[in-house]
Amino acid sequence: MKPDIYIPEVGKTCQGLINEDYDTRLSGDCKSYCICGVTDRACLGRHIEDSEDQSSQFFSRARCHMSKSKLDTCPLYGMPTDMFVSAIQIKARIRMEKQIELLGSKE
């Protein structure tokens, strides 16, 4: 295993992660974990792999890992919690305004 890639503790990686989980599961199910709350995309540092070689002929198993060098390239990594809260509130307000605008255009 590469020294750059590690399995962190939940809540200690980045304040902006949604659905942060590092348990082993079917590899296709890992895509919905460790999502950035601001961009709604996969975390830049997320790396999905089967480090414990638990896959078999019939089931591909994996877990989310983090790459420190990739995390360091993210402009949001290391932001304080209050800044994440503000960014998510702004994003929600913009989304709501767009929905209201769509409702108004149907009339």
In tens, the pLDDT along 20-60 reads: 988 888 888 888 999 998 888 999 999 888 877 777 767 78
pLDDT band at 98 (very low <50, low <70, confident <90, very high): very high
Q: What is the mean pLDDT of residues 14-21?
A: 88
SS3 content of the chain, % helix, strand, coil (to 5): 35, 20, 45
In a domain, 90, yes or no: no
Say how many domains are in the chain: 1
At 101 the three-state DSSP class reads: helix
For the chain, give the number of residues: 107
In a domain, 10, yes or no: yes
Which residue shows structure tokens 């942060």?
Answer: 20
Spatial distance between the Cα atoms of 10 and 8, rounded to a whole number of angstroms: 7
pTM summary value: 0.74
**Domain boundaries, position 30:** 5-78
